[in-house]
């Protein structure tokens, strides 16, 4: 009986156009007959207050103008999968009693339409792909919503405005939530949000303003979250601990990144910022790891400053490769490893200083390769290994010094390959000086080259 009431009520409430149909008459029709009947004549639906669920796929692919309203005191709790998918719905006011919008329930609605949530909405979740591919232009998301499902607004190419009610309880924006929402220009992220999912705003090509409201709870910005967006600047909340890979990659207008005071960042993921207009960045003291290629190809990057008392341990492979405008660099004493090619192709880099009592143990292969402006460098006493070709093609490099009490034990092959100006070096604990050509054969403390 309950199923009959839920399904039959829809036909029973077609007023003015079809007349009033009984539950029995509605249910006697086959699904195909009901679909034909609706497509032929339905324009406006008023749903009775005692209906608790709108059935799956009931108006799916309905073609013709469709408006849905609900009687006062509606007890509707769920709108099921595909209920209005692919239809020509142009307006609906969702009752306050609704708690769940299921997967695809408004996906692909082919007309420009409006969705309004009644005051006092109890909606908890907007499901996966709920509005995906629809022509929705704007939406105000109720304060009660805790999660936006995967792809819920993906490919909504007319969506220009998204607002969150005050006191929003939103905790998660899911994977691909706003993927390819190409008309979205700005968004304010609610205070209680904890996670921005993978690719959640990727390819929002007009998204130029992202701001974070109040004292924020955001902990993680997911992989590719803002990749290919139109951001010009961004200030990241102190609460964020992790920037995943590619999160701001290919934001071609992004010129300014600011980390709030008291930042808790620990990891900046690989390819996080591959932004050709980024000019300055200050890495917070809390950062422990700079991922591979995290600032690679930031060709306008002039200044990289590490905050006082930096706890940085590892600079990943290619972290700053091809940052051709970077000219001066001070590496914190906490750094223990410079990954392969980490500064390769920094063609304007002429000054590298290792701060304080450096803990650096390894300078990996190609780390300073193609740093054609670098003239001199002092290797910290803590360094034990120079990787293969780590100073390759440093055309201006003349002087390489090893700090007093150097712990160097191995210099790998071709360390000064194609660096023709390097003068003879005096290695620690050896009275003899070595030419660059001899050191290019490889060297160990126990067995120096012949």
Its sign, for the CA torsion 139, 147, 225, 83, is negative
pLDDT the model gives residue 7: 35
**pTM of the predicted model over 0.75:** yes
Residue 374 in tokens: 């670098």
Mean pLDDT over each residue of the chain, to the nearest integer: 89
Distance (Å, rounded) from C-alpha 25 to C-alpha 111?
30
Residue with the larger pLDDT of the pair 45 and 8 = 45
Segments making up each domain of the chain, as ranges: 313-450
pLDDT tens digits, one per residue of 226-279: 999 999 999 999 999 999 999 999 999 999 999 999 999 999 999 999 999 999
> pLDDT tens digit string along 389-430?
999 999 999 999 998 889 999 999 999 999 999 988 887 665
Token pair 């917070």: residue: 284
- Burial (0-12, 13-18, 19+ Cβ within 10 Å), 31: exposed
Instruction: Tell me: pLDDT of 201 over 90.
Output: yes
Q: Which has the closest alpha carbon to 109: 56, 69, 155, 174?
A: 155
* Distances in whole angstroms, Cα of residue 227 to Cα of each of 30, 128, 150, 171, 267: 48, 21, 17, 21, 18
- Residue 65 is predicted with a pLDDT of 82
> What single DSSP character describes residue 333?
T
Give the pLDDT band (50/70/90) at residue 1.
very low
Q: What pLDDT digit, counting tens, does each position of 150-178 carry?
A: 999 999 999 999 999 999 999 999 999 99
CA dist 95 and 343 (Å) reads 57
> Residue 32 pLDDT > 60, yes or no?
no
Mean pLDDT to the nearest integer, 127-137: 96
The DSSP bridge partners found for residue 268 are: 243, 290
Is it the case that residue 30 has pLDDT exceeding 90? no
User: For 291-305, what is the mean pLDDT?
Assistant: 96
- Please tell me the CATH code under which domain 313-450 is placed: 3.80.10.10
Q: Which helix (H) or strand (E) holds 141?
A: strand 138-141
Contacts 24+ apart (CB under 8 A), 30-39: 35/62, 37/11, 38/11, 38/62, 39/63, 39/64
The yes-or-no verdict on residue 435 having pLDDT over 60 is yes
Separation between Cα atoms, residue 152 and residue 165, nearest integer Å:
18
Residue 135 has pLDDT above 80, yes or no: yes
pLDDT above 80: residue 335: yes
Split at pLDDT 50, 70, 90, the class of 90 is confident
Do 254 and 228 meet the contact criterion of CB atoms below 8 Å apart?
A: no
Between CA 191 and CA 173 the distance in angstroms is: 13
Residue 26 has pLDDT above 50, yes or no: no
Give pLDDT, residue 178: 98
H/E element, 86: none
Q: List the Cα angle 433/437/442 in 5-degree steps.
A: 85
By the 8 A CB rule, do 128 and 152 touch? yes
Distance (Å, whole) CA 391 – CA 197: 40
Q: What is the pLDDT of residue 34?
A: 43
Tell me, what's the pLDDT at 447?
60
The rounded distance, in Å, linking the Cα atoms of 143 and 164 is 7
CA 362, chain centre distance (Å): 31
Dist. CA 166–CA 142, nearest whole Å: 9
3-state secondary structure of 9: helix
Per-residue pLDDT tens over the stretch 37-75:
444 444 788 999 999 999 899 899 988 888 899 999 999
Average pLDDT over residues 188-205: 97
Q: Among 175, 129, 174, which residue's Cα sits nearest to residue 156?
A: 129
pLDDT at 373: 98
Res 320: pLDDT: 98
What is the side-by-side order of every strand in the sheet holding 66-70? 44-47, 66-70, 89-94, 114-117
The per-residue pLDDT for 448 is: 56
Spatial CA neighbour of 145 closest among 169, 166, 128, 129: 169
Per the CB < 8 A criterion, the answer to whether 160 and 139 are in contact is no
CA 89/CA 385 separation, integer angstroms: 67
Question: What pLDDT sits at residue 9?
Answer: 40
Q: How far apart are CA 135 and CA 148, in angstroms?
A: 18
pLDDT at 429: 64
Positive or negative, the CA dihedral 434, 439, 444, 446 is negative
39's tokens:
């497509």
């Amino acid at each position: 009986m309950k199923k009959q009431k839920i399904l039959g009520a829809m036909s029973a409430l077609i007023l003015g156009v079809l007349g009033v149909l009984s539950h029995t008459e509605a249910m006697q029709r086959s699904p195909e007959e009901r679909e034909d009947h609706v497509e032929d004549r339905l324009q406006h639906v008023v749903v009775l207050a005692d209906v608790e669920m709108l059935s799956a796929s009931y108006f799916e692919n309905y073609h013709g103008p469709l408006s849905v309203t609900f009687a006062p005191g509606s007890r509707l709790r769920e709108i099921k999968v595909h209920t209005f998918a692919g239809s020509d719905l142009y307006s609906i006011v969702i009752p306050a009693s609704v708690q769940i919008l299921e997967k695809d329930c408004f996906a692909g609605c082919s007309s420009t339409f409006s969705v309004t949530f009644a005051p006092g909405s109890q909606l908890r979740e907007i499901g996966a792909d709920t509005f995906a591919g629809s022509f929705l232009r704007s939406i105000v998301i109720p304060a009660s919503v805790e999660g936006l499902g995967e792809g819920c607004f993906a490919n909504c190419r007319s969506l220009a405005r998204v607002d969150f009610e005050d006191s929003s309880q939103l905790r998660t924006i899911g994977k691909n939530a706003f993927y390819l929402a190409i008309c979205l220009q700005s968004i304010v992220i609610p205070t209680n949000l904890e996670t921005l999912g993978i690719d959640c705003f990727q390819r929002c090509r007009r998204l130029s303003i992202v701001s974070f409201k109040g004292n924020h709870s955001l902990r993680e910005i997911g992989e590719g979250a803002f990749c290919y967006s139109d951001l010009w600047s961004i200030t990241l909340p102190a609460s964020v601990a992790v920037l995943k890979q590619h999160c701001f990659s290919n934001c071609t207008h992004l010129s300014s990144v600011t980390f709030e005071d008291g930042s808790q960042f620990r990891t900046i993921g690989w390819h996080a910022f591959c932004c050709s207009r980024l000019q300055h960045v200050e890495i917070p003291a809390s950062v422990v790891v700079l991922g591979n290629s995290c600032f690679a190809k930031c060709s306008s990057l002039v200044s990289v400053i590490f905050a006082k008392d930096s706890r940085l341990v590892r600079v990943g492979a290619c972290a700053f490769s091809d940052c051709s405008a970077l000219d001066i660099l001070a590496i914190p004493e906490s750094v223990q490893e410079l990954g392969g090619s980490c500064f390769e192709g920094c063609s304007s880099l002429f000054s590298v200083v290792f701060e304080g009592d450096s803990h650096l143990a390894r300078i990996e292969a190609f780390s300073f390769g193609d740093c054609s402006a670098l003239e001199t460098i002092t290797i910290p006493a803590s360094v034990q290994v120079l990787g293969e070709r780590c100073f390759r093609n440093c055309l201006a490099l003349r002087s390489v010094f090893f700090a007093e009490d150097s712990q160097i034990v191995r210099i790998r092959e071709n360390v000064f390959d194609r660096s023709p100006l390097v003068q003879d070096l005096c290695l620690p604990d050896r009275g003899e000086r070595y030419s660059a050509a001899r050191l290019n054969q490889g060297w160990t403390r126990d067995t120096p080259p012949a």
